[in-house]
A and B are shown apart, each in its own frame.
Chain A
């Protein structure tokens, strides 16, 4: 039977489409309008201090489109004009300084691609398989190209005296939460940026317009948005976000603090619960993403049988430093049940652990920094479900 989409002249092949300027700043085509950030309403009391999730299940490549990159606010996304923006540097410097946005644009800047992952990503899965979709289990992450000024350049401008040992940099935002965090000065000097662009354009409001801190490889809470102040101090401030939150309680009731680095992690994004196999038997592309706060991913293995046997996946490109890498396993599927897993390794030799391994060390009450191996149960009809396996 001939395909009428081919044999008959279709409307779009005969009449006009939109002219230029129909959408001066474009949005995805309407057929993709389900690829959006989503919130899990029961997680928080209100959307003002809350988080939503990147639709990672529907994306490919590594750069997260800015419009669907997850948001986390502690007091809502504020609207701060460039003209009203000020960045103060104070504390242990020769001269406390104030920079305008225009000043920031005149410092030499760098471009880097980095992932930003919330420490709570996958946190709801700590007690067991709970949310049925990669967007919800692993979507508190995005990966963007940042253009920004190295923090060390700005500190030098204020006359930092060169002392690193035992010194900290306290950073805070201009919003009502201020979200202050203390960062060891050594890290701040190493690779932190005050970013003024992401993916080539101005930061979105929800990502800290006009300037945010970038803290490569470390938990997203430290990437202070609307950054307004950096203070060199002799000790950590021990603010709310680094004591009552973003600390990890172990089985004996003691809690780890200063758990800043995001360890190596990966997840299969398709097939997954929101991305069932709908195309029948034969060739199947299994894909996912991997990242590590310790540097570069070196290898990702995929298991179809819940971890009995593993195959090494193909990395789509050389892994960047503290950036997402895409992996593929080009395979054949003939309706057999699969327990899909992925396992990342990084340049330090670290191997992504199972949830059982993590629980063995941390107990059952840890929330943040859950980088366990994820399992999707793919059923003979192609549907997938989030499960835990023995």
Chain B
């Protein structure tokens, strides 16, 4: 039984049209009227879903744990799985990077100004974490984690929120016992009582207020994208067409740049090790949330990486690099890429790249080979 939360007693859903009345036999009167339908209102379209098809897609998990596969994972396993798959956006301690979501902290802030809503401070059900990580994460490589990895990540997120000890292990067996701190923090939509009753009155037409003073102006904040006469913020979006044109131009320029670069021999001459590049493609999944490479690749959170091996540092013209990257100088070759990818923030202090780094040198070799195949 997955009946977890009750249906609202008075849902604000009532539209003018009632749902069709089921006949006593369970048949639908409304549909049965359709010309081509059988007596039971069916059209004989579609086919029965096979059990393995339902199993493949029916993976949602309810608050009571219904839908969870067997498995388990502990905090320490979770830490390394999280570091590998999640930390580039969510931070090594689930504290979030840049604009990416913070998953930990915020306890007790929900009634403050600017509450910090995290898994620990806000999410009412642990099942939501498991279900979301399992189905939709990592960003750009969804549905690649095993159930055990998802249990481990979920355990680590709980640990990051100080909700479990470091020896905690989460499994389908103990899952339902876990109650989230904000489980009781939600009420069902009460606008019908708290708002509609107040505002369903004949509106005032004349002498409705004595004076009108400006209390806030949008141009003071100055956060509007640069269009329509307003002062634009520095980060304003360029019109889509313009951006596409510029990216195309940059891609064209990138190729000759690579030929002139000092690393010419490596970038242009050495044949690609296809097996290593294929390994690198897997490693590159970690990068895909922010970087594109290949045909039609564009700048995203990070710059387009076509031709990156052998090109000068910070060479994509329409990408806004951090100042430290822009002023870094040098060329991306095997050596500099190894140094940077092993410890991005150590090698270029102040880089905007939030990635924690690749621990294994062989992963870096692979990803550099993969990138080298897009010259």
- A residues with a Cβ closer than 8 A to B are 33-34, 36-42, 44-49, 57, 74-75, 88-91, 95-100, 103, 106-108, 128-133, 135-136, 152-153, 156-159, 161-162, 164-168, 170, 172, 176-178, 180, 184, 186-187, 189-191, 216-217, 228-229, 231, 233-240, 243-244, 247, 249, 251-261, 263, 273-274, 276, 295, 301, 305-310, 321, 339, 343, 345, 348-351, 353, 357, 361, 364-365, 377, 383, 385-390
Contact = CB atoms under 8 A, between A and B. Distances in A.
Given A88-B53, A235-B5, A236-B4, A157 B20 contact: no
Contacts of A353: 195, 199
Given A97-B48, A184-B13, A238-B128, A45 B229 contact: no
Nearest to B298: A47
B61 to A, nearest CB: 7
A97 B46 contact: yes
Interface stretch (B215-223, B263-271, B339-347): B215-223
A249 B22 contact: no
Given A106-B45, A217-B15, A237-B60, A46 B289 contact: yes
Interface stretch (B111-119, B253-261, B274-282): B111-119
A318 B275 CA distance: 65
A387 B140 CA distance: 39
Given A253-B115, A307-B209, A42 B233 contact: yes
Interface in B148-189: 185-189
B131 A274 contact: no
A364 B123 contact: no
Contacts of A237: 60-62, 131
A99 B42 CA distance: 13
A108 B32 CA distance: 12
A170 B115 CA distance: 29
A390 B213 contact: yes
A133 B194 CA distance: 31
Contacts of A133: 224, 227-228, 230
A106 B196 CA distance: 42
Contact of B34 (A34, A108, A162, A255): A108
A234 B206 CA distance: 51
Given A90-B58, A253-B110, A190 B300 contact: no
A245 to B, nearest CB: 9
Interface of B: 1-8, 11-13, 15-20, 22-23, 26, 28, 30-31, 34-36, 41-43, 45-49, 53-54, 57-58, 60-63, 89, 98-100, 110-111, 113-115, 117, 119, 122-125, 127-128, 131-132, 135-136, 139-140, 142-143, 185-191, 194-196, 198-201, 203-219, 221, 223-225, 227-230, 233, 235-237, 239-241, 289-290, 300-301
A184 B20 contact: no
A177 B138 CA distance: 10
A40 to B, nearest CB: 6
Majority secondary structure of chain B interface residues (helix, strand, loop or mixed): loop
A130 B218 contact: yes
Most chain A beta-carbon contacts within 10 A, residue among B45, B99, B201, B205: B45
Most chain B beta-carbon contacts within 10 A, residue among A36, A176, A237, A276: A237
Contact of B28 (A152, A165, A177, A217): A152
B203 A129 contact: no
B188 A258 contact: yes
B188 A132 contact: no
Contact of A244 (B2, B41, B114, B123): B123
Contacts of B290: 46
Given A364-B113, A377-B214, A45 B200 contact: no
Nearest to A106: B45
20 contacts: A38-B239, A42-B223, A44-B99, A75-B140, A88-B49, A103-B45, A103-B46, A128-B216, A136-B224, A136-B225, A159-B42, A164-B19, A189-B20, A190-B18, A238-B125, A243-B123, A310-B205, A386-B219, A388-B216, A390-B213
Nearest to A47: B300
A345 B58 CA distance: 42
A258 B196 contact: no
Contacts of B19: 152, 164, 186, 189-190
B62 A238 contact: yes
A129 B217 contact: yes
Contact of B89 (A45, A89, A390): A45
Contact of A170 (B60, B99, B194, B221): B60
Contacts of B6: 166
B300 A46 contact: yes
A77 B82 CA distance: 27
Contacts of A217: 15
B174 to A, nearest CB: 19
A129 B218 contact: yes
A231 B62 CA distance: 13
Contacts of A91: 58
A156 B186 contact: no
